[in-house]
Amino acid sequence: MDGMCVVWVWYKYDGDKYWWCPSLQEVMEAFHSLGAHSPAVGLQGLCQHNGRVLKNNISLSWSEQQDTPPAIALDISLSYICKFLALCALTQPVAYTDGDLLGLIELLCQAGLDVELRLLPKTDLQQLLLLLLQNIQEWPGKLQQLCCTLSKVSGHHHNLLALVQFFLDVTSRSRQLRSQLSLVIIAQMLDQQEMLPLWEEKTQLSSLSQLLTLMKPSSLRQYLGSETLPPCREQQPKASAELDHKVCYLCYSLLTLAGVVVSCQDITPDQWGDLQLLCLQLDRHVSTHIRESPQAMHWTRLKDLAAQTYIRWQELLAHCQPQAQYFNPWKDNSLQLLALAGSEQGSRNRRKQRTEARGGPV
């Protein structure tokens, strides 16, 4: 498999000594040759031919020539593609334009969700995506475009949640992307993307607070039920049970994404009120509306997630609480303590005077 990378570079040398970085089209062809179902929908306009395109008969999957099991060979092939692209990103950080980088990130995310590829090796993919993000020159100018593109990679909340998790929470850019993309996906799933100021960084928590009010299980059930419940009465019990699972599943994904939005924020004291409102909305609109049952353990899992999310947000509240909110008995109550001490001393003096007047012992 090491030889594959050498062959790729050798094809591009042809006497000119420069490091070859594959074009979007060439990466696309590589994934197709490994059996990707459709890893490049909508990317044709972004692809530019920087050199010779890989021929269809040049397959990067060498399982036919080796004794390695196909699944392992596929995993190795995908791993080396990611490693080679990571090498290109490190050695030639300006080899790709911002447009190419956005297209490559989209392509890799699509390939990462492609079931025919059995999911890319996650660690290699995550590291590559971090490098590509860092190479974008116009940042955060390209953030909105990237979020809009990635939010349309799939129409299912499970895939979109997995896509967010492709980006590790380790750099400022990846944190910014995770938070913004999660908020956009939540709004998209709830048909609220045109109703809220999603792109204003200072209003993200307040926007999320409004979206939490729509995550009530009964509201989600009404929203999904209009599309899934059949008119035939005989089929309705089974369809209702399936709808119940869908509602719980969607709420679980939305709540997980909400946790990503908050965890990637650098909470400041002036956002304390927004975070406090989030805790209130979570408890009022989600936690209290989850009905647990021994026959429906999926709701118990959702209840646990809601409780864990609430606890994490409460911990953040304790850390970012404004100074004026802290209870300081030595400062805030100093006058009360002095008054109390003076009152007790006055009481003792009056008792002493009454005892002396009666002639009793002091």
Report percent pLDDT > 70 for the chain.
71
Percent of the chain surpassing pLDDT 90: 51
pLDDT of residue 135: 97
Q: What is the mean pLDDT of residues 224-230?
A: 65
3-25 mean pLDDT: 61
Q: Pick left, alpha or beta for residue 119 (phi over 0 → left; psi -120 to 50 → alpha; otherwise beta).
A: left
Q: What is the pLDDT of residue 195?
A: 87
Whether residue 99 is predicted with pLDDT greater than 90 in this model: the reply is yes
Which of residues 330 and 322 earns the better pLDDT score?
A: 322
Q: What is the pLDDT of residue 321?
A: 76
Q: Supply the pLDDT for residue 74.
A: 84
First to last CA, the chain: 100
Instruction: Compute the chain's Rg from CA coordinates.
Output: 30
**336 belongs to a structural domain:** no
The reply to whether 57 falls in a domain is: yes
Mean pLDDT, range 190-198, rounded to an integer: 91
Higher pLDDT, 227 or 130: 130
Domain presence at residue 180:
no
Give buried/exposed letters for 142-166 (b at 16+ CB in 10 A, else e).
Answer: bbeebbebbbebbeebebbbbbbeb
Q: Tell me the pLDDT band of 41, cut-offs 50, 70 and 90.
A: very low
**Domain assignment of residue 220, yes or no:** no
Per-residue confidence (pLDDT) for residue 63, from 0 to 100: 40
Does 104 fall in a domain? Answer: yes
Residue with the bigger pLDDT between 64 and 245: it is: 245
Q: Is residue 38 part of a domain?
A: yes
pLDDT for the residue 9: 52
What does the pLDDT look like over 242-280, one tens digit per residue? 888 999 999 999 999 999 999 999 888 888 999 999 999
Q: Which residue has the higher pLDDT, 308 or 356?
A: 308
Cα 360 to chain centroid distance, Å, stands at: 79
Say whether pLDDT at 96 is over 60: yes
Asked whether residue 145 is domain-assigned, the answer is no
Across residues 191-202, what is the average pLDDT?
Answer: 90
CB neighbours of residue 3 within 10 Å = 9
Q: How many structural domains are present in the chain?
A: 1
Within-domain flag for 278: no
Per-residue pLDDT reduced to its tens digit, 298-307:
999 999 999 9
Q: What is the pLDDT of residue 6?
A: 43
* Domain containing residue 91: 1-137
| pLDDT over threshold 60, residue 148 | yes
Token readout for 337 is 């303590």
The pLDDT of residue 234 is: 60
Q: Note the pLDDT of residue 82.
A: 93
